[in-house]
Structures are given as C-alpha cells and as structure tokens.
Amino acid sequence: MKMGTSITRFSLNRPWLVTGLMIAFTLSLALLATLPTIWPHTFKGLNPLKVDTDPENMLPEDEPVRIFHNSMKKEMALYDMLVVGIVNESNPDGVFNPQSLRNIYELTEYAKSLHWSDKENPDKEIGVIEIDLIAPSTVDNIEQGGLGSVRFEWLMASPPTTKEQALAIRKKAQRIPFLNGTLISEDGKAICLYLPLTSKDISYKIYSKLQEKIDTLSGNEQYYITGLPVAEDTFGVEMFKQMAISAPLAMLIIFLLLFFFFRKLIVIVSPMIVAMVSVICTMGLLIITGNTVHIMSSMIPIFIMPIAVLDAVHILSDFFDRYQETKDQEKTVIKVMETLFTPMLYTSLTTAVGFASLALTPIPPVQIFGLFIAFGVMIAWAFTVTFIPAFIMFIPKKSLENFGTFADKNKNESQSILTRFLTLLGRLTFKRAKLVMGITGVFVVIAVYGISQIKINDNPIKWFNPTHPIRIADKVLNEHFGGTYMGYLAFQAQTSKDLPKYADELSKQIDKAANSLKSELPAVPAVFEALKSQTTYIIKSVSSKKELLQQLAAFADKRIQKATMQEYDAWDEAILFLDRQRQADEVFKQPQVLNYIAGVQKRLLTTGVVGKSNSLADIVKTVYRELLQGDPQNFKIPDTVNAVAQCLMTYQNSHRPQDLWHFVTPDYTKTVLWVQLKSGDNMDMAKVVKAMDEYIAANPPPVNLKHQWFGLTYINVVWQNKMVTGMLEAFLESFLIVLLMMIILYRSALWGILSMIPLTVTIGLIYGFIGLVGKDYDMPVAVLSSLSLGLAVDYAIHFLSRARQLREGFNSWAETAAPVFGEPARAIARNVIVIGVGFLPLLAAPLVPYQTVGVFIAAILLTAGIASLLILPSMITILEKWLFPKTKKASLTCNCTTCFVIAALAAALVAMNIHDFFGVGWNKLTWFGLMAVIVFVIACNMASGRKKCKTEAMMDS
C-alpha cells in the first residue's frame, strides 16, 4: 500500500513531469519505429515496419513440415498459384464461344507479361512464371491425328473464329484428364487459368493488375480470382485498412460511452490518452525490435485498448462516486488510489501473465503476440497509476462542480436504473444464493457438453466476409471445378542401402543376362565374366549402388573402345545391361507402382472433399490411349516398364516437356499427386490425410514407398494442431500461475480458488457456446482464451478486494452485501458496458477474425461481469463462516492447507516448464511430483504446527 500511495503522491505533486516523461517515452518509441519505415535508407541501422501475412510463418522456419514443403516445391518446380476463373452464364456453351475465348486469350497474353525484374536483385525475375502458366493457349493437346498418327499441338494456338472451332477446343480438353476439371470445368462451361507465382507476396499486385485488365475486356463473362496465396496477401492489405478503421472506431464508441457515464469531456479524455499511448508504445516496440506485423500482431491494438481503459475506468468510476464527499481533487484521488492500487496491480499482473503464457505455445507469431500484449498491459498500468492522477490535477476545480454521483442523483435516470438494478442483484444473491449456484451448475453442465462439441477448424479464405469477391470467387469456382485448393501427396521410394547384398544380386543378374544372350552373341560369356570380376574388384572402394554402377559403366565404355568386331556387340549389351540395372531404381516407371498410384487417386475421390487429382499415372494413361487409336479402353497403364518409358518419351515431344517434372523427379524415385480439394477447411484436409493414411496402411504399396503431404492447405492443418495443444497447455499453465497469485494476494487458498470460479465459468460458457452454435475453433478463438483469463479474473479481484475491505467495517456479510453492490459493483458494471459495447463496431469489419474478436470480447466481458456479480456474492453467502473465520491474520505459512496448495501449484508449474523446455516425459515427472507432494504435506504440517502459529492463533481467539 505504501508504494501505491507514494506513487500517487509523486504524480499529484509533479503532474507536469509525469506527463512530460510519458510523452517523451511514447514519442521516442514512435519515432524509432516510423523513421526507418518512411526513410529506410537514411536510417539503415533501425528496423522498418515489416508486414507478414503468410500463415506458413505460424510454424518456425525449421519446422520439418515446412522444410519438406519447401524442398518438394523446389524439386518439383511447384509454385503457389493464383486461380482466375472465367464463367459465362448467358451463353449456352458457357465460355466456349469465340468472343469469350478471345477474351481469355487476351487475358492470358496479358498475364504472361506480368513479370519484372526484382528491385533488390535485378538478375532475378519476379511475377508470373510464364512457362508454367496453365491456360488454353499455353497447354498442349495430344490426340489422334488421323490414321496411325499422333498429334501434339497447342490446345488453343489462337482464338477460334467460329462456334464449331470453339466447341472443338472444349471437346479436346475434355479428353485430357489433366485438363478436365482443372483447366475446364466438368460441365464444360467455365475455364480456369492457373498463374504460378515466383512468390506469394506479389499475389495482391498481380490480382490488382488482372482486375484492371479485366475491366477493359468487353463481353458478358464473369471473372473470379481466388487461390490461397491471393487470400493471404489480400488479407495483409485489408488488415491495414482494418487497423485504420476499426481500432479508432472502437476508441470513438468507448469515448461516447464514457461520456454518457461521466458527462465530463475533460475527465474522460485521460483513459483515451492512456489507451492510445499504450498502443503506440507496444506497436513501436514491436517494430523497433524487428518483429513483423503478422495477422496475430495486427490484433495487438484491439486487445490492448480495452485492457488499458479498464483500470482508468475503475479510477474514474470511484472518483466520480466520491468526489462530492470532499470536493477536493487531491484527497479524493489519494483515497481512490488507496483502495484501488493493489487490485489494479494484481488485475494487470494476472492479465499480463495470461498473455505472456502464450509464449509457451510452439507458434512464433502467437508467442510474439502474447509477450507484447503482456508488455502493453504493464505499460498501460504504469501510465494509469501515474498519468491519471496527474491528469486529474490539471482539471480546473470549476469544471468539476457538478461532477459525480451526488450532483447527478436527480438528473440521471439511467444511472439510477443501474444503481437500482445492482441493489436488486445484491439482494438476490444474498437471499437466493443456493438458487443462483444451482442455475450456474446447470449452465456449467450445458457448457461442458458444448465444449465436447467443439469443431477445430480454420480456413484463410473464410477470413473474408461471405460477400467479399474472394469468398464469392471461391464458392463459384469450387462449384464448377474439381477444387481450387491444392494439396500435394508425395511418394518416395525407399531403396535398400545394403551394398554387399546388392553386389551379390548384381552378379546373379549378370549371369542370368549372359545366359540368355550367349546363343546370339558368342562373345557374351567372356565379356559378362569380365564385368562380374570387375564388380568384385571395385565393390570395396565404392560407397553406393549408384557409384558402383557408374564405375562399371565407365569400365565398359573403356573396353568397348578397344573391342574387336566380335566383342563390340557383347560390350554394347553389357553397357545396356548396366543401364538397365541403373534404371531398376526408377520405380515410378513400373506399371504395378503406377497402378497403385491410380488406386490411391481413386480412393481420394471417395473422401468427398477431393474433386480431382492429377498424377504421373494419368499422363501415362493418356499418352498410351492416344498412341493406341484413342480408344477409351486403352486408358490404362501399359504392361511393361519399357512401354511406360516410351510413352513418357513420346510425351516429352510436346511443347511443354517440363510439365512431367511437376509430377515426378527425373530419376523417377519421387512422385507427387496434385490433389484438388473443394474446400480449404483444415478439418476437410485433415479428413483426407486420415483417410489416406488408413488406405495406405490397409493397402501397402508393391514396393517400399513413403508417403507425405505438403502444400499450403496441409501446412495449415499442421500449425492448427500445434496451436490447439499449445494453447491448451499455455492456458493451463497461466491458470495455475494466476491461481497462485490469487492465493498469495488473499493469503488464503479458499479465497484464491473462489476468485478463479467466475473466470472458469465464463470460459466454460464461452467455449461451450462456441461448441453449441458450431462456430469453428480457429486462431482468434483460441487466442481469446488468454484474454478471457486475464479479463475475467479482474472483476473477481475488484469485487473480492472491495468485499473484504468493506466486511471489516461490518459484523456480517448480510450487512456488507448492500454497500458492495453500491460503488464497487457500479464500477464493474460500467466497465462491462463501456468496453463490451465499445468493441461491437468490430462486427462491421470486412475481415472475419476481427469480427470474431469483437463479438467474443463483448461476450467475455458481459459473461465475466455477470458471473462475478452473481457467483461471488452467492458463494460468499454460502461459505461465509469459512471465508471470514474468527481466527484472522495468521501468517501465510501457518495455514496448512494454503501453504500446501501454494507448494503443490509451484511444483506443478515447475513440472510443466521442465516438460516444455527440457522435453522430460510426463511419466518421470509424475513420480517426481508425487514425491514432492508428500514432502510438502510434511513440511506444511510442520510449519503450521510450529509454536509461533499457535501463539498467534491463541492471541487472536
């Protein structure tokens, strides 16, 4: 209490100094952040503002799934794609009419030109990757070209001029599995262009340029642009608009509500200043320290504002109620701060702890988010306890004349309504305490059921409103096509590393080959024998199968140079034999493996989420069919490895041979299935992953293959899983810390636990509600658990602290209840209304995560407020004799139970941290914990049994 008073006195005596320091501190942080952002070259040493909207960064760079994703993307030359859909609803042939196709051609030509050299790295081109663009004019058609011939041609070399030509293009594309459902819709009405991008962060730029071009095209086609990269990049752009509109709007509403309650402009300016300054300091520090403004960190201002205003509202509310008693600013402030300093310190600390615990999640942006909010909360606290008293001193006495409860008594109807309502509530909790608790119990049961119904899901496209062009595009295109969300399923051949075993095998193969050839070529036995002895000779000096075969091939190449006419053919056969051995590892040319892949594709289609998949098997089947008169019966994998290889060689005579390497590596040891999902919901992707794991386990591949997913849609699933478990752990840990703090604050385990009940009920109800209404448990919802923890406990702290203070002046709770439901309850109610309503403007936001945050902040505050005002007094009524025992003021260590609970909590926290940071398993920790508990029981028993405690107790009684 002493520290509180001296801080208040200091601020009251030197208001100018306090204000000046605050302004200087804020300005310097703001300048350090803005200067390098505006003039990056002048201030090279400082960090400019960096924006990052990439959900990939939800996982650390070195996360295995990201490493795999990036290496496969590079190896298969796969890029993030922007999808442009063109639909024509007015023409019976859809877009397959000369006019629409001409527009599509023109748009494609324009898209091809959308690349430029990188400013930072002039040798590098960025933009659309022209060679991999998928459009009617850039893909090949393979088909029968008349009797006994096969034809490769551009699907649409130039726009058609007649209806028949336009329809012919559709017919051709529908025959090619790779194009049907991908380039053209299954109903033959729409076309999708796929624009691969050098990097995701240029999507919005390309998106805007395409929109400009589309506006110049005449015709009755509709254009839709979508794809995960554009959603993510557009989110970044809109995020800033959002921050510029919603945050100030929320400020404005809070301001108006404060004005409604306190009716003094000059008084309510101060909480606004505190909120603003706290936001500036936190965001400034975020930028200065080189952290990026991510989807998460962009929400920092919205989270800090209510918390920053919260404490100030308590002070003002109290000041408002008490000022008319003395009409002395200084005295009133000192009195107000005496009662409020400790609760405010604790509420701020608990809020900070709640957020700081997010640092324990394995998701870097969430860690940053948590830590900086914790910082912001403490900054807000510091400014509240120093600047608000200082500010009150600046107010001329004259303008406070008709300020406060007494002056308002007759005028303010609503105020008295609130007061009357609260008085009623107070009586209810006293007279019907058991009923209140019974109803609470019913709610809790419903909530628990709701929580069990929670659906964990997220989808970056759904971050936009249903009316946003990206959402509409997503909906329309996924109705027409196999799906615009791409997931990739990689298969990798696992070859044996046992070299001596392979050498044995090779020798046997040499004998076998020699036997089958010797009747034809008499020189074969001698030549193959030479090969065999060379194998045994070099086997010790080579380290891999590849090296062995390479050296043998080099040996044979040397020998054929000097070979006689008779030997030449035999050596030629030997070289051919060795090459065949080398190719034996090219497993994805083997018919049974390709048929297996085709089986996997078939299973994918039955998941209900996958609209289509593309694979190497499809390419082989298509080429084979067209080589055999285009007969649909021949749409299958040919019977031999060589036949597959020759189909693939034929395929490479097209305009785009490089397309093959998007599906398989040139050594044919890795293949990738392009899986088109109709939904980007993590839940749906997870469903596909699970189904395929089960399928592959039940149907093992013919050779040893390892399967693994990658692609943005899959990465989202991985970080979401991490987030859910991470958040739960962080929440449990912060819950324990806050409980520990509460016990220490109240010097009692019972009081500590009591203060945690409203927040537990609040969180239960909120998440139960989420489960019941079927709202997805996504990123913002997960993060809100820390916010509810931090905020809900605040009301309990304020309520219980005041209740205890007031109880000292009375003999029983019956007498205390009425005053508690006076000024203290009013402060809580005002808080709930101001901040809860203040965040409702977020509902108007075009970005869904912000809407979620807005709704839930309001809901959490309301629930927490009601829960605190109902549950706490009811429980105090029921538990009065334990909460206010006759023997008071025994020291903390004298209360055996409290001492034990503190020790056990501390032990649990230590165990959780050891588990998190040192990876020690729970099994070991459980034993360790059990041991610790026994030790604590003994220690606590001894401590509370000591002489000093007994004498204290005796004296009290």
Partner 1 sequence: MIRKKGFFRLILIALILNLHPHLLQAAELSVDEIVDKTNRVSYYQGKDGRARVLMSIKDSQERIRRRNFTILRSDEPPAVALKAKDDQYCADQKLYVYFNRPADVNKMVFMVLKHVDKDDDRWLYLPALDLVKRIAASDKRTSFVGSDFFYEDVSGRNISEDHHKLVETTKNYYVLKNTPKDPESVEFSYFKMWVHRKSFITVKTEYYDKQDKKYRIYEALKVDTIQGYPTVTKDRMRDLRTKSETAKEYSEVKYNIGLPDNIFTERYLRRAPMKYLR
User: By the criterion CB under 8 A, which residues form the site for partner 1?
Assistant: 74-75, 77, 113, 130-131, 140, 145-146, 148-154, 157-158, 568, 572, 575-577, 579-580, 582-583, 586, 589, 627-628, 638, 640-647, 649-650, 652-658, 660-661, 665-667
- Single out the residue of 386, 371, 372, 377 nearest to residue 349, CA to CA: 377
Beta-bridged to residue 612, according to DSSP, are 676
CB of 158 to partner 1, least distance (A): 6
Both tokens of residue 627? 């080589």
Q: Specify the residue, 146 or 809, whose C-beta has the smaller distance to partner 1.
A: 146
**Angle, helix 823-838 to helix 413-431, in steps of 10 degrees:** 110
Both tokens of residue 202? 């240029």
CB of 715 to partner 1, least distance (A): 22
**Angle, helix 300-326 to helix 265-288, in steps of 10 degrees:** 150
CB of 153 to partner 1, least distance (A): 4
Question: What is the distance between the alpha carbons of residues 587 and 584, in angstroms, rounded to a whole number?
Answer: 7
CB of 610 to partner 1, least distance (A): 29
CB of 219 to partner 1, least distance (A): 22
CB of 99 to partner 1, least distance (A): 20
Q: Specify the residue, 320 or 588, whose C-beta has the smaller distance to partner 1.
A: 588
CB of 179 to partner 1, least distance (A): 17
Q: Is 90 exposed, middle or buried (0-12, 13-18, 19+ CB in 10 A)?
A: exposed
DSSP-derived pairing of the beta strands 293-294 and 610-614: unpaired
Q: Specify the residue, 169 or 296, whose C-beta has the smaller distance to partner 1.
A: 169
CB of 142 to partner 1, least distance (A): 10
Q: Which residue shows structure tokens 């009617």?
A: 136
Q: Specify the residue, 663 or 856, whose C-beta has the smaller distance to partner 1.
A: 663
Question: What is the distance between the alpha carbons of residues 145 and 610, in angstroms, rounded to a whole number?
Answer: 34
Q: Is 269 exposed, middle or buried (0-12, 13-18, 19+ CB in 10 A)?
A: middle
Question: What is the distance between the alpha carbons of residues 954 and 957, in angstroms, rounded to a whole number?
Answer: 5
Give the burial string for 563-597 (b: 16+ CB within 10 Å, else e).
Answer: beeebbbbbebbbebbeebbbbebbbbbbebbebb
CB of 860 to partner 1, least distance (A): 52
- Contact of 254 with 301, CB cutoff 8 Å: no
Q: Specify the residue, 324 or 590, whose C-beta has the smaller distance to partner 1.
A: 590
Both tokens of residue 322? 């008490």
CB of 150 to partner 1, least distance (A): 5
Q: Specify the residue, 129 or 276, whose C-beta has the smaller distance to partner 1.
A: 129
Q: Specify the residue, 36 or 591, whose C-beta has the smaller distance to partner 1.
A: 591
Length of the chain: 957
Question: What is the distance between the alpha carbons of residues 271 and 153, in angstroms, rounded to a whole number?
Answer: 71
Q: Which amino acid is at 477?
A: L
Other beta carbons less than 10 A from residue 891's beta carbon: 13
Q: What is the DSSP letter of 666?
A: T
CB of 647 to partner 1, least distance (A): 8
CB of 504 to partner 1, least distance (A): 22
Alpha helices in 409-523 (DSSP H): 413-431, 433-452, 469-480, 499-517
Q: What is the DSSP letter of 840?
A: G
Q: For residue 371, give every residue at least 6 positions away whose Cβ sits within 8 Å of its Cβ, in sequence order, or none.
A: 355, 356, 358, 359
DSSP-derived pairing of the beta strands 455-456 and 776-777: parallel
Q: Specify the residue, 519 or 811, whose C-beta has the smaller distance to partner 1.
A: 519
Both tokens of residue 452? 């069990």
Q: Specify the residue, 161 or 453, whose C-beta has the smaller distance to partner 1.
A: 161
